[in-house]
Structure 1
Amino acid sequence: MTVTIKDVAKLANVAPSTVSRVIADSPRISEETKQKVKRAMEQLGYHPNINARNLVSKSTQTIGLVMPSSKDVGFQNPFFPTVLQGISEGAQEKYYALHMTTGKSEKEILDAVIQMVEGRRVDGVVLLTSRVRDQVSSYLRKRKFPFVLIGKPYQDIEEITHVDNDNIRAMKEATEYLLHLGHRHIAFIGGTRELMVTLDRLDGYEKALQEAGILVKPEYIVHEEFLREGGQEAVRELMALDEPPTALVVADDFMALGVLNTLDELGIQVPQDLSIVSFNNVLLAEMSRPPLTSVDINIFELGYQATKNLILMIENDKEPVKRLIISHRLVERSSCAKYN
């Protein structure tokens, strides 16, 4: 037997129109009433007919997700599953579905986004990375299509809603942590320079050294992919220098895992011979040997707030442009020691 809105209304002791407003997440309905109706829906096994609602509202009730273009990167790095959890929870709260797209090149991704937008497959888009001179964000802006960026825009920062960390400050604090331990030969391992997060974290690293009166050495700055292999290649290059660093700031935990693997092969002990501060604080940072001191950037919250604010834009075209900065904190573990 099919469960209807009337059945839900009867069990919750409200009018059928109230049930409809709860499904639409109307702000005019109190939270207490919403919870009562949701409990009745769950008890009866009632699921809203989203397709029927969408035909009336001319909405797809779907959010598009644009993954990075590098082959397999988005599915290897633990950052992306975690941020997707936040995006998914924000979408589920408002009964939105998710439509994901990726590609082997920037052109493939742009073509896929154009198909999503022109084919009216989604109501808005979340961009999971911020790139220098990004064609996708430029296209979405020209189309005046709702989108939210996770990261800092390369340009027109006041005109694009984005959710980000203060990456300059976070990396500056991470570098200062090593400076306070007495290290003066600190190297930077970051991702590609095409990503805004890399540029911001490099800026924070350089600021910390400059304020400490330490010369920034170009040979101490290495850029690779945000992958374990990237960390392996970077640290081999650094440890082969005539004057190798005594400490590293690594812009990603997954890269840092590769760093640890290679240091073990080279017979270099962490933290006795080399200290490491990493970024993101995903589970592998705690499980690595030794456990990594890492900057927690609240990845889940980045995704959740991106979806929440995109839906506000979808449902209200007067929603103002926002810059949302998510907090960070340094989680101390066993990968750092005072310089001897």
Structure 2
Amino acid sequence: MPNSAKPITSLLLRNAHTHMPMGVADSYRYWGEDNTVFVKSSEGCTITDADDQTFVDFRLAYGPIILGYRDARVDQEVIRAITERGTMSGFSTDLDSEVIELVKKMCPNIEKMRFANSGTEAVIGAVRTARGFTGRNKIVVVEGGFHGLYDEMMWKSDVDNWDAESGEAPEVAAFGRGIPEASREHLETVPLNSFEAIDEVFARVGDDIAAIVIEPIMGNCGSIASSQEYMQKLRDLCDATGTLLIIDEVKTGFRVAKGGAQELYGIHADLTTYAKAMGNGYPVAAFGGRADVMDVISSSGGGVTHGGTYTANMIALSAAKATLTILNDSDAYSSIDKAGAEIQRVLATV
């Protein structure tokens, strides 16, 4: 039945159901028949829906819009770049290195990088590189983190069907149908902040662990954070065993500090993934870290393969250059910290 309070939205969703599963282009955009949002316009931190209702958007497109919607400084730089050079050519440009130089200013532990088109692609590249460098197969993922929509990372502890009094760990289950059991063959999951669990995994299969992957601040589960001691534990364990530490900063990178979560913790990864805030809403991502690890990427001699038709296109890199320049040269982080503190203060009173 149409929603009388949102007649245009209701009509748009009804029509969309004839073209797309659930009536949306992305499953996470479906908020039910009465609450799914169709955006008509946006500016700064507000969006206006198809029925001319305006909202303050605290989510900001799941994180990318760090400077606000329609930031003219970024948009004009993108327009200038594609007017002069087109959207993409399949060749290298000076922007490739210029953007990485900006990243290095903000994240000094990054020595070499490669670009990607999404956080998922960045994680795929980092994991493949870690396996190529170490010659090992297994990946340890810390529960609660989100590392993209590819099969190997789409597994979680099935706490809904778990008997907490059984004394046994919950079964690991896939995020829905269509994910083959074989995709978890080389995946190990451990609970956050559990020294005992990570020690057990390394005692059992440590010789074949290529990397530990962690989101230090887990955006998909209420921003639960790793303890300082746990992050240090992972760093020490990786150093002792030749395992690589991959810190997924797709959500935290260029957001919680110039140097991301690693700046806050004072603990650096061997490889790091970035996306979201990197381009203020334009689709750009990257992974990088130690030069010796990244140099395993090669098109010859049995090296790790990495590439992509749209990788490092002019839209993405011009947006990244403009966004990172603003974040690096302005007092943006002071403003973000103040806004975050005020939001927390108000929420605490609810």
Larger Rg: 1
Q: Which has the higher helix share?
A: 1
